[in-house]
Structure 1
């Protein structure tokens, strides 16, 4: 019975985190993809970085990363232990950089190997990169950046960050 209650509590916690992470991610997604599209295509199909997809992508991801950090730190995982802001954000940024490298590799493949430069191909490449990056980010934020409160670990004698649900 105690195991069932602990598992149910963990699943509720995880479901809440996934929902909040998804909402923050949706906002960051709009900032990211919208920023990329404006930089690359502008309002008249000639943006300031029309011929520089990787630069446009990098700028849009950096801005979206700031939005995501603020949302996740102050809403999704607001009850988690805090580190010094510079340390926490540096770790957050490094993990986002790993996701960005994956996204850039997919975008570079589409633009330079497949020679597809149209908006639809770029949006699809970005969606694939963002989808894979989202899985990496949720796991790594939860595991490394926004640590589980000590009280939770001590209450049930375990660490939910390393559970099979993490």
Structure 2
């Protein structure tokens, strides 16, 4: 793991977090959506931003540069599917934090939902996402498993 890798992951994640948080706040606040639906939609938007940042930035050197365009396109689709699965696992962590706070503890204000889902949940989910992104999605060529490409 290099500092460059950590910086790139943090930058992509920071952009994704900003999209996730802003969209969640907008859907939950002015639009009045329920917290779980708002979180699910903001998650998908943030996940797409994070994948683009990692694939085109952080881990671009790990791409198979010498392969044909069709093979690269298939690899990207497969990578995105695995990336999305890793991020779904992270989202489950966030949703569990939000559910516990909102429905279990009765902390139902938009601020409490934001703290539980987008701060506490995000911090825990980030650890899982970093590990999964690094080891399952963008593993170095020699360490790739057959199902990740």
TM-score under structure 2 normalisation? 0.84
Q: Could you tell me how far apart the structure 2 residues matched to 1:18 and 1:84 are?
A: 23
Secondary structure of the corresponding residue to residue 79 of structure 1: helix
Aligned residue in 2 for 1:134: 126
Q: Give the deviation of 1:35 after TM superposition.
A: 0.5
Q: Could you tell me how far apart the structure 2 residues matched to 1:14 and 1:132 are?
A: 22
Secondary structure of the corresponding residue to residue 142 of structure 1: helix
Q: Give the deviation of 1:124 after TM superposition.
A: 1.4
Residue deviations 1:110-149, cap 9 Å, x none?
1101111112211210211101111111111110100214
Larger radius of gyration: 1
TM-score under structure 1 normalisation? 0.76
Residue deviations 1:69-104, cap 9 Å, x none?
000000010011356222111100000000001110
Aligned residue in 2 for 1:70: 52
| Structure 2: gaps spanning 5 or more residues | 65-73, 145-149
Aligned residue in 2 for 1:103: 94
Aligned residue in 2 for 1:145: 137
Following TM superposition, where does structure 1 have runs of at least 4 consecutive aligned residues deviating by more than 2 angstroms? none
Residue deviations 1:14-34, cap 9 Å, x none?
211111111111111110011
State the structure with bigger RCO (CA 8 A, min sep 6), 1 or 2. 2
Alignment of 1:15-94 (within 5 A): 15-42=3-30, 47-49=31-33, 52-82=34-64, 84-94=75-85
| Structure 1: gaps spanning 5 or more residues | 1-12, 151-158, 162-166
Q: Once superposed, what is the RMSD of the aligned Cα atoms?
A: 1.6
